[in-house]
Amino acid sequence: MKNIHLLAPWIRRFLLEYLVADRNLAYNTQKSYRDTLILFLPFMAKKLGKSMDLLTVEDISNDSVRQFLLELEKQRECLISTRNQRLAAIHSLARFVGERNPELIEWFAEIRSIPFKKTAAPSMAYLEKQEMDTILVVPDRQTPQGLRDYALLLFLYNSGARASEVAQLTIADLDLGNPSSVTLLGKGSKVRRCPLWPQTVSILAPLIAGREPNEAIFLNRTKQPITRFGIRALVKRSAQKASHKLPSLSAKSVSTHTIRHTTAVHLLRSGVDINTIRAWLGHASLDTTHKYAEVDLEMKAKALAQCEIPSSSMTAAKEHWKNNPELMAFLKSL
């Protein structure tokens, strides 16, 4: 067996050299690729009855990758988007190996021939103002835990930040002066500043009082930095409780990204221009932000449909035209 065909050295170079040094991909992207291999390598070892360190490049075939993807969908119940994300990582690994070893070009082409599955564009889910307000009143602000929950929910609504962005925030990222703002590190390590409402500042100030600048803003019950999974659980739990007060929430799947969409739509309705919203949310392209404008136009169309002239009024108007020969002649001349 040629050492060059062992998979382990290629994996090491792919993760530590290619993704980090050569491509300088975002940290979350690096973790996503790593997590794909954490799932894929044990699957291959079990399938072939081999130790992971003895797997070779040729052990990875078109058929075995398809079986792995099928297991993701059937056994782990992953979405098509997740399945495609895992396949993208395997494609990237195959390209890395194939470009550096001419002997494996044919193998590289075989792996790369596995297509992505087409997915329907996800609907733009957001909350009405009353629904968001109902979620915000769920936490019991008389308790330290409830005050933390309220502060986190209000911050999500104020900033439109992603769960991962909020989880990594430190007190040093806050500027509670006048004007107040927060510095967010988004996708692709892009930094943006987001203004804070006075209400948000008044809630955050006592939450961080007396703490060190390098500490995380939001802590869990064990006083450790809250994770993005903890943030998502809080949002889901709060929405579920709020649905008992407002039944319309029961029909919606509320997540941190739902609140992000809500922030954008509410900013748009309040008259904030699209380019400002793009900077607010940290979108790389204005095309992404335009989706919120399309959502709002759909709502305007629905409102217009409710203002249609009643049929009885139309009948009366037609009778008026028939009884007015001069008006009818004018209309025919148009």
Q: How far is CA 289 from CA 26, 55, 198, 264, 269, in A?
A: 21, 45, 26, 8, 14
Which residue among the candidates 5, 148, 266, 283 is catalytic per the annotation? 283
Residue 23 appears among annotated catalytic residues: no
Residues 220/221/224/228 CA torsion (nearest 10 deg) = -20
Residue 260 appears among annotated catalytic residues: yes
Which residue among the candidates 95, 257, 290, 291 is catalytic per the annotation? 257
Residue 150 appears among annotated catalytic residues: no
- What are the backbone dihedrals phi and psi of residue 51, each rounded to the nearest 5 degrees, phi first? -75, 145
Which amino acid, residue 229?
Answer: F
In the numeric block, which tokens belong to residue 48? 């072939």
Residue 332 appears among annotated catalytic residues: no
Which residue among the candidates 91, 112, 187, 241 is catalytic per the annotation? 187
Which residue among the candidates 260, 261, 266, 278 is catalytic per the annotation? 260
C-alpha span between 9 and 315 (Å, rounded): 81
Helix (H) / strand (E) containing 325: helix 325-333
- Before 179, cis peptide (omega within 30)? yes
DSSP code of 193? Answer: E
Residue 292 appears among annotated catalytic residues: yes
Residue 18 appears among annotated catalytic residues: no
Which residue among the candidates 83, 148, 162, 192 is catalytic per the annotation? 162
Q: Give the catalytic positions in this structure.
A: 162, 187, 257, 260, 283, 292
